[in-house]
Amino acid sequence: MNPFFQYNELPDYAAITPALAEEAITHLLEDANKKLSQLESHVEPSWESCMASRYEITEPLEYAWGIVSHMLSAMNNQEWRDIHEKLQPQIVAFFSKIGQSQNLYQAMKGLSANATGSRLTEAQKRILESDLRDAIHAGAACSPDKREKLTTLREKNATDRATFMNHALDASKAVVLTLTEKQDIAGLPSSLLSAASEAAQRNNYPESSSQKGPWVITHEAPLFVPFMQYSERRDLRETLYRAYIARASEGKLDNRPIIENILKRRRQISHLLGFDTYADLQLESRMAQKVQAVESLIERITDVAKPAAQADIDALEEYAHNHGQAGKLKAWDVAFWSERLRKERFALDSESLRPYFPFPRVLECLFETIKELFDVSICPADGKASVWHPDVRFFEVQDQTCTCIAYLYLDPYSRPDTKRGGAWMDSVLSRERKPNGCIRCPAALMVCNQARPSEGKPALMTLSEVTTLYHECGHALHHILTEVDLPAAAGVNNVEWDAVELPSQFMENWVYHRPYLKRMTKHVETGETLPDTIIDQIIQSRWFHAGLHTLRQIFFSALDLGLHYEYDPEGSETPDDYKQRIAPQYNVILPIPEDRFLCGFSHIFAGGYAAGYYSYKWAEVLAADAFAAFEEAGLDNKEALVQTGKHFRNTVLALGGSKHPMEVFKAFRGREPDPDALLRQTGLLT
């Protein structure tokens, strides 16, 4: 009855424990290794033999390990850390073994050589092409000694990535400021004081209240971001900022040696596989394909965004001086004065808008939008499936005949003690047509970190949190509205990393579509919607400081690409030195010398974005161009909106990884994407 074995069913999260995980995965590894040996002894160059049989071996293990990885991220504690650390090397070793299998590799090569004659479907051909490339990247074409080295390097990097994430998580929870006096909280909104009081209660101040304090500020986003935006105490903003950019860079949580080791091993892996750099290796399996294509995108956007960012900073500095700040604008001043200028220019205040965005109403409107665009209903089904925390909601996705076609979990609120920061979507089950013709419904989970409900009120969201919710739901729709029957290409599976953000970035646009924006607002006390004048201001302010925000993301993209392409991990220059060296090309306010941002850059050192952070901007181009199709059809033309939404669903969402993303995009748009679509959308290019 171990729940980790039920790989065709929704996980029984309530019954899951680290001990059961160890028991199940140990057994599954033994079974998978035994079945792999049997398969290797008689594998043939046919789809059933070398492809379908391999998935039958790996799927139960991927299902179980996916649960462990999810629990580590969403319910992090020492037990889950210990079990993850213990089992991960074995998981990495097994998947390296199957990826490097000579017999399987030769069978796939034979099948590929005869792909036309073997009557493979288009989806099967694409899966085969991807898996053959992955086998080469795994080392299947290498000598035995190289394969052994690759396995060792990857095992060490897997361990280091988990350690990096744990260090970053622990550092983000560390108390930076304890505020006790009224002058310490000057300018802070009530929502932040409530959150800071709850943080104080978690950190040895059980008597704390939002009115009387004390208040605790950590690096967790719901605390750090609004403090930097609203605190009138410049000295405290500087203290918090300096601690933030140095987090996880000293003592037991120092991530700097981990970064250096990961970069060295990645370069060694790329050399063993015949690539000059890790970026070359990674991009071979991306939509961009070549480093030069990414560099071209970065250069184009930088050329337009940097002058705009400089103009943003010049105007902001003048505004700050006119309102009493002396001296040059510093990094810890930008968010504060930007929020004030935005509030004055557009008569908007992020915190004053919160009461208009109660979470239940926002979620209801999101589901209404999905119904109108894609003709599916997302229906509450709490209690029909077990969940990993009482906060988690469960939903059934139904088509127009009220037939359940997918499942969706939502974990919306911040849990600083056990949940890593940020937001993400992950697959729980992938769609599959069984031999008897029945469909296994796909399932996805969405995890956010918005502020929790407090003082008897529903959670009140910032516009940024609303946008994040729509973003993650775009990922989920991509996975659960697939019509591909092969799990390996269903939903987000087999979609190139730099294209997988298209649906998520696309969904963000609907937050700023006037009818939907107005509909989702409902004041938590009065029930009133936002006035039209404020709706106008929100829409106009969407691209406020677009130059600064765009340049920031481009800097991260260039930094990530450079560390995996240009930077020499065996040289005398440190990663931080490299960051400081290239910063002037992409920043109008330079990082201070003590900046250790890389120590918290989990996307590339703990997640899957190594040599791939550019994917956000790459996909933003795709998403901006895709949304332009709706604009061209007419956003206020309901019939045209429905037809365009149907076309988007039948191409971008339905085809998943069964076709190359360029083919998918062209199937929807009728042409290749226009790189300037994003610059036009953000107002950086007229």
In 347-415, alpha helices (H)? 350-353, 359-374
What pTM, to 2 d.p., does this model score? 0.87
Give the pLDDT confidence of 638-659 residue by residue, as tens digits: 999 999 999 999 999 999 999 9
- Check residues 116 and 75 and name the one with the higher pLDDT: 75
Catalytic choice (351, 396, 432, 472)? 472
CATH 1.20.1050.40 residue window(s) in the chain:
3-141
Does residue 118 have a pLDDT over 80? no
Whether 284 is catalytic? no
Kindly report the CATH class assigned to 3-141.
mainly alpha
Return phi, psi of residue 23, to 5°. Answer: -60, -50
Instruction: Identify the residue whose tokens are 């998403």.
Output: 623
The pLDDT tens digits for 343-354 are: 899 888 878 899
238-270: pLDDT as tens digits: 999 999 999 999 999 999 999 999 999 999 999
Query: For residue 602, what pLDDT is reported?
Result: 93
Strand 432-433, strand 439-440: pairing: antiparallel
Please count the other Cβ atoms lying within 10 Å of the Cβ belonging to residue 397: 26
pLDDT in tens, 473-525: 999 999 999 999 999 999 999 999 999 999 999 999 999 999 999 999 999 99
Whole-number Å distance between alpha carbons of 180 and 200: 11
Token pair listed for 276:
């000059």
Q: What's the pLDDT band for 205 if we cut at 50, 70, 90?
A: very high
Whole-number CA gyration radius for the chain:
25
As beta bridge partners, residue 444 has 408, 427
